Copies of this chain bind each other. A is one copy, B any other.
Amino acid sequence: MPELRKDPITGRWVIISTDRSKRPSDFSREPERKMTSVCPFCPGNEEKTPPEILAYRVNGTGPNKPGWNVRVVPNKFPALGIEGAMDKRGEGLFDRMNGIGAHEVIIETPEHREKMAEYTEKRLEDVLWAFRDRMLDLKKDRRFRYILIFKNQGEAAGASLEHPHSQLIALPIVPKRVQEEVDGSKQYFNMKERCIYCDIIQQETDSKVRIVDKNDGFVTLEPYAPRFPFETWVLPLTHESAFENAPSHLYENLAMAMKNLLTRVDKVLDTPPYNFVIHTSPLNEASNDYYHWHLEMMPKLTKVAGFEWGTGFYINPTPPEEAAHFLREA
């Protein structure tokens, strides 16, 4: 009998198939096309990107020259523009504003072929510090309400360039799903005076069935009502509402947790395309007791049918307990 499960934070129900439960080898994969043009993110091609905003460099190397370890540049084809006024306006019953925002690319490594799971922990930590540095800088711009950090790995997951990179988008609005999480966790806090994520961590750590891994700072688990097979969350063990406010030692722990997770995922699912997104508090309520920042990781294993977008109703062919088992044993 399949099961209907409700995400306790957003209230979304999902179908978890049990009869036709999919194992890791059941997911078919489309071959990646090789991208052959000159890579604008490789060392030596620095002039092919807009001038860098931030770079962690070998001492003595100059900006927009080789010698960097991590490099942040504006997206050459930004989804939003940094200059100008918001110009909020109605159009009859509709609402619009100018697409003001920042769209940056974090080039994670000089090595074109290196996978994130292969980074040294130091490199991964540097990438996380770059996220943080950029967030702290962009937070000063009062037009922004939210900073979105995400990675699309592989063509099927939406990456248009092969060279390892992640992206940052600063927005004058709060994305809908994040707002739902914030609202849901606020509602829970009003009822219980506790953070719902802290409660979930407690319950999951006790039951262990959906836990993948744990270190001094983070727990990696499969959520109870995941929309996608092998959807995985990485949560700080101690309550903290904003990514950029985490104490320094946590970035080291997070780098370890991510490397651990990606290594397991690559092993179990044969280096799949994937996405991750950092979910953190909106900028105007960065420090609070109800929201708990975390990282959500989704391997791209299934085609999402339009009815799932059309309705917000998802059918997940792999129970999270089984996914956790596979990842734990890897």
What are 30 inter-chain pairs, A to B, with CB distance below 8 A? A1-B99, A2-B98, A2-B99, A4-B96, A4-B98, A5-B94, A5-B96, A6-B95, A6-B96, A10-B176, A12-B176, A13-B176, A15-B99, A30-B30, A79-B315, A93-B199, A93-B203, A148-B307, A148-B311, A175-B311, A176-B312, A177-B310, A177-B311, A177-B312, A274-B306, A275-B310, A279-B311, A296-B310, A300-B306, A304-B309
- Whether A93 pairs with B8 at a CB distance below 8 angstroms is yes
Partner of A93, one of B20, B167, B175, B200: B200
Contact partners of A178 in chain B: CB under 8 A: 311-312
The 8 A CB mask of A12-42 against B (1 = contact, 0 = none) is: 1101110010000000001000000000000
CB distance from A71 to the nearest CB of B (A): 21
| Min C-beta distance of A205 to chain B, whole Å | 12
Check: A326 CB closer than 8 A to any chain B CB.
Answer: no
One complex includes copies of this chain to the number of 2
Is A55 close to B, CB under 8 A? no
User: Does A172 belong to the interface (CB within 8 Å)?
Assistant: yes
A51 within 8 A of B: no
Report Cα–Cα, A100/B275, bound state, in Å.
32
The answer to whether A306 touches B152, judged by C-beta atoms less than 8 angstroms apart, is yes
With A98-B1, A99-B4 already in contact, the answer to whether A306 and B92 are too (CB < 8 A) is no
Q: How far is the CA of A203 from the CA of B93 in the complex (A)?
A: 8
CB distance from A323 to the nearest CB of B (A): 16
Q: Looking at the assembled complex, report how far the CB atom of A67 sits from the nearest CB atom of chain B, in whole angstroms.
A: 30
Give the shortest distance, in Å, between A169 (CB) and chain B (any CB): 8
Q: Is there a chain B Cβ closer than 8 Å to A286's Cβ? A: no
Interface residues of A in 245-295 (CB under 8 A from B): 274-277, 279
A224 located at the interface, meaning its Cβ lies under 8 Å from any Cβ of chain B in the complex: yes
Which A117-135 residues have a C-beta within 8 angstroms of B?
none
Q: Does A173 contact B (CB under 8 A)?
A: yes
B15 touches A307 (CB 8 A): no
Measured between alpha carbons, how far is A157 from B306 in the docked complex, in Å?
6
- A307 and B94: CB pair below 8 A? no
A3 and B152 CA atoms in complex are apart in Å by: 23
Does A327 interact with chain B (Cβ within 8 Å)? no
A199 to B93, CA, bound (A): 8
Contact B157 A94 (CB under 8 A): no
Please tell me if A106 contacts chain B, counting CB pairs below 8 Å. Answer: no
Please name 16 further chain A to chain B contacts, defined as beta carbons within 8 Å, in addition to the given A4-B96, A175-B313, sorted by A numbering.
Answer: A1-B99, A2-B79, A3-B96, A4-B97, A5-B96, A11-B176, A13-B173, A13-B176, A93-B196, A157-B305, A157-B306, A175-B312, A176-B311, A178-B312, A276-B310, A298-B310
